[in-house]
Amino acid sequence: METAFAISRGIMTMMAFPTAKILIGQGLKTELDSRTGMVTTPQIISSKTRKDIVAETPGVKALSDRIEATLETVSVTKPGPIKKRIEVERAEFSRRGTPLLPQRGKRRYHPFPSFKEEKMKKLAFLVLLIMILNPSLMADSFSLSLYQNMTDNLFQNSLVESDQLSSLSFYVDKNLSRFSVFSEGTYSYLYNNPNLTYYLQDVGLDYLHPLNEKSAVYFSLGGRGAFYRSDFSDYNYLAVNFFTAFKSYTSPTSIINVNYSLEYKNYKSSLFDSLSQALLVSFDKYFQTRTTFKGEISWGYKFFLHPFLSQQTPPMTDYPASYKGRGKGRFTGGGYSPFITKPDGDGQGIQVFSLSGLIAQGLGNKIGLNLTGMRQWTLSGENPFTYIQEFYSVENPSYDRFSWFGTQWGSQLTILMPWNIQFKLGYTRTQKEFPGIESLNLEGESSGITREDRRKQVDLRAEKNFPRFSLYLSYYYIMNHSNDPFFEWTGHFFSVGIEWNFLSGGRK
Amino acid sequence: MRRRGQLYLVFILIFSGLVLGQKTPHFYNVDKEIRVEGPIQEINMEPRYVDTSPFLIIKLKDTKTQQMYNIELSPVWFFEQNFYKGEVLVVVGSLYVSGDNNLNIIAREVRFRGETLILRDKHGFPNWRGGKMKRQGRKKGKEF
């Protein structure tokens, strides 16, 4: 009886097949003369008596006429005449002395390298299987989008670095009675910093339930996975989130809205693990002068589950390429990390509260103008990291709505232009302080004051919808002034995108 | 070979979306599309179709004809947008007359305050999405 072997992530499955093949995880496919015995240790082949681990044989060497495999620790589980499962702790394959698998540190980057990543492969195939094999999940809508983003300041700091980011996304959903299931995947590739390339996968379901003619509640339960390339794999996370909203017309011209969200994030680097929740209540009123007033109260709490190391050890031990030689004095302490945590402190939980308001004025049907203002306070706690960074279009675990307190003012003009082009012009000013984050000089020494950023932002956005696709264009110019000179920066951010809506579900 | 495999994967994904998305169309009649403009008279959530959430129904009075229309928007738009009595909308959609002689419009496009909401494409297929409230801000590129 000839045998076949499939090896993937150190697990070898041996099955009885008429032809012999060896399949190696990276996609290599090579014939193997199994009659010479892929695994020559008799214990492994003949062990059929125990159901669990029956043999551990370090240094097993398997030979064939074409491939040599060195298996360091081999365990056979579930042996049987039809199928055997062999777990290999480490395997090296070579042909005539030449290694067959890529060597660590010598990987080349391709436009879509992350498809090689095992987790991404599994996710992609899982999505495909769900879509193809289950007829009950025929999509009601399916869309693809492609965005090309360009910036001259990817890391949004004084060490200006330009880059381009290409994002390819798919989105499918299906309505099942009053439920809707959806899935969205986004692959983002950075040309100059491929180490930051990542894949995001969202799945979830939502439900809308009307309470009466004027009120309804909405529930959404979702999951998200973020998978970065190796150097930034500490950013990888799996998240579960729950979102609910209640909306009601208290009169024909006034609305009350209550939203609550809860999210648990589990990062590869447990320092970032968090549980966060937010509650938002808003009330708005429309007047016959086409003026809308809106007031909003928001409360949020983010709890870092274990942000403090038992000893001050940098969570990452190597410098990603994009940080080498940067931030003079900024990365002292033995390794890259803007997230060197404090040995202890008040940073385990951050509680914020905010008030915001909006005045919107319609000028005919084609022009809208709105002014917004917001003030946020930190009620308790502080950031547990030594400093905070934002990356353009890349989620950074140190920065989010919980990281700061301060004010934000904004205005936006919306115009419906000829050819039905929607155009938006916005201007925003923010002043943010980051509790627990000290302003440092360029040598990395503390100035003894809390970091404070003042930002001005101008943005232009345009959107044009065609029968089957939509085009998006946006440009942002940002000036960020900070009492930490490392974060004194300006940046131009340009984005162009297209979204295709493929055949969608019924016209009901 | 690996690149070819990846390409196959992408094509399968696209193809499956095209195939799986197809369903027998009904209700929306492209030949009966009309355009109306006028102030909102009333906003309700009303049951319209079996096995779906009640639709957002906006009663709108056309300023030209003074006719009253029931504008049908999918349930998600109840949470997506705030509409108010008295606000003027421009609506493009498919007209049908229900048994009680009411004029109904299945909305394809709604314009107001300088914005256009595309609810369906020009063939009447809906553009709304599940999980939409969670997707705001991600769809159209980076938001600061």
C-alpha to C-alpha distance for A482 and A491, rounded to whole angstroms? 14
DSSP string, A261-281: EEEEEEESSGGG-EEEEEEEE
> Are A286 and B37 within 8 A, CB to CB?
no
- Range 429-488 of A in CB contact (< 8 A) with B: 457, 459, 461, 463, 465, 467-468, 470, 472, 474, 476, 478
Do A484 and A440 touch, CB atoms closer than 8 A? yes
> Are A255 and B141 within 8 A, CB to CB?
no
> CA separation (Å) from A334 to A114, A317, A329, A340?
29, 7, 11, 10
Q: Measured between CB atoms, does A284 come within 8 Å of chain B?
A: yes
Q: Which of B9, B116, B143 to mutate to test the interface with A (most CBs of A within 10 A)?
A: B116
Chain B nearest CA to A485, separation (Å): 21
User: How confident is the model over B47-94, as pLDDT tens digits?
Assistant: 777 666 778 899 999 999 999 999 988 777 788 888 999 999 999 999
Residues of B in contact with A141 (CB under 8 A): 21, 126-129
C-alpha to C-alpha distance for B121 and B107, rounded to whole angstroms? 10
Q: Report helix angle A118-133 to B2-20, nearest 10.
A: 30
Q: Measured between CB atoms, does A492 come within 8 Å of chain B?
A: no
What would you report as the CA-atom Rg of chain A, rounded to the nearest whole angstrom? Answer: 28
Do B93 and B109 touch, CB atoms closer than 8 A? yes
Tell me which H or E stretch contains A133: helix A118-133
The pair of structure tokens assigned to A306 is 């274990």
Planar angle of CA A168, A173, A176, nearest 5 degrees: 170
State which residue of chain B sits closest to A468, comparing Cα positions.
B121
C-alpha to C-alpha distance for A145 and B14, rounded to whole angstroms? 12
C-alpha to C-alpha distance for A109 and A111, rounded to whole angstroms? 7
Do A432 and A459 touch, CB atoms closer than 8 A? no
Do A383 and A399 touch, CB atoms closer than 8 A? no
Q: Which residues contact B125 (CB under 8 A, 6 or more apart)?
A: A501, A503, A504, A505, A507, B25, B28
ipTM for the predicted complex comes to 0.72
Over the range A93-120, which residues count as b (16 or more CB within 10 Å of their CB) and which as e? beeeeeebeeeeeeeeeeebbbbbbeeb
What would the mean pLDDT of B17-40 be, rounded to a whole number?
Answer: 68
Q: What is the pLDDT of residue A124?
A: 63
Residue type, A207: Y
Phi, psi angle pair for B30, to nearest 5° = -60, -30
Q: Which of B8, B115, B136 to mutate to test the interface with A (most CBs of A within 10 A)?
A: B115
The pair of structure tokens assigned to A262 is 């809860």
Q: What is the pLDDT of residue B4?
A: 63
Do A305 and A274 touch, CB atoms closer than 8 A? yes
Neighbours of B19 (CB within 10 A): 15
Domains detected in chain B: 27-140 (2.40.50.140)
The pair of structure tokens assigned to A244 is 């609910």
What would the mean pLDDT of B114-123 be, rounded to a whole number?
Answer: 74
Chain A nearest CA to B113, separation (Å): 5
The pair of structure tokens assigned to A282 is 């808003």
C-alpha to C-alpha distance for A196 and A394, rounded to whole angstroms? 8
> Are A459 and B90 within 8 A, CB to CB?
no
Q: What is the pLDDT of residue A277?
A: 96
DSSP string, A404-438: -EEEEEEEEEEEEEGGGEEEEEEEEEEEEEEEEEE
Backbone dihedral region of A96: left (phi > 0), alpha (psi from -120 to 50 degrees) or beta?
A: left
C-alpha to C-alpha distance for A209 and B112, rounded to whole angstroms? 26
Chain B nearest CA to A94, separation (Å): 19
**Beta pairing class for A367-380 and A83-88:** unpaired
> Are A210 and B53 within 8 A, CB to CB?
yes
Q: What is the pLDDT along chain A (508 residues), one digit of tens a residue?
A: 333 343 433 334 333 332 222 333 322 233 333 444 444 332 333 222 222 223 333 333 333 334 445 555 454 444 444 444 455 545 555 555 555 543 343 334 343 444 445 566 566 666 666 655 555 556 677 889 999 999 999 989 888 889 999 999 998 888 777 788 889 999 999 999 888 899 999 999 988 888 888 898 999 999 999 999 877 888 899 999 999 999 999 999 999 999 999 999 999 888 889 999 999 999 999 998 989 999 999 999 999 988 766 554 444 433 343 343 334 334 332 334 445 556 666 568 899 999 999 999 988 878 999 999 999 999 999 888 877 888 888 888 888 999 999 999 999 999 989 988 999 999 999 999 999 888 988 877 888 899 999 999 999 999 998 877 889 999 999 999 999 998 999 999 999 999 887 655 444 4
User: How confident is the model over A483-492, as pLDDT tens digits?
Assistant: 999 899 999 9
Do A13 and A31 touch, CB atoms closer than 8 A? no
| Local structure of B71: helix, strand or coil | strand
The pair of structure tokens assigned to A141 is 């809508």
- Range 198-217 of A in CB contact (< 8 A) with B: 202, 204-206, 208-210, 212-216
Chain A nearest CA to B26, separation (Å): 5
Q: Which residues contact B98 (CB under 8 A, 6 or more apart)?
A: B104
Phi, psi angle pair for A485, to nearest 5° = -60, -20
State which residue of chain A sits closest to B79, comparing Cα positions.
A247
Q: Is A49 exposed, middle or buried (0-12, 13-18, 19+ CB in 10 A)?
A: exposed
Planar angle of CA A21, A25, A28, nearest 5 degrees: 55
Which residues share a beta bridge with B68?
Answer: B61
> Are A365 and B5 within 8 A, CB to CB?
no
Q: What is the pLDDT of residue A98?
A: 56
**Beta pairing class for A21-23 and A3-8:** parallel
State which residue of chain B sits closest to A222, comparing Cα positions.
B131
> Are B12 and A214 within 8 A, CB to CB?
no
Chain B nearest CA to A208, separation (Å): 7
Q: What is the pLDDT of residue A297?
A: 97
The pair of structure tokens assigned to B60 is 């709108």
C-alpha to C-alpha distance for A351 and A196, rounded to whole angstroms? 30
Residues of A in contact with B23 (CB under 8 A): 138, 140, 505-506
Residues of B in contact with A465 (CB under 8 A): 116, 118
Chain B nearest CA to A416, separation (Å): 5
**CA-wise closest residue to A365 among B31, B35, B99, B76:** B35
> Are B124 and A414 within 8 A, CB to CB?
no
Q: What is the pLDDT of residue A92?
A: 56
Residues of A in contact with B116 (CB under 8 A): 416, 420, 422, 465
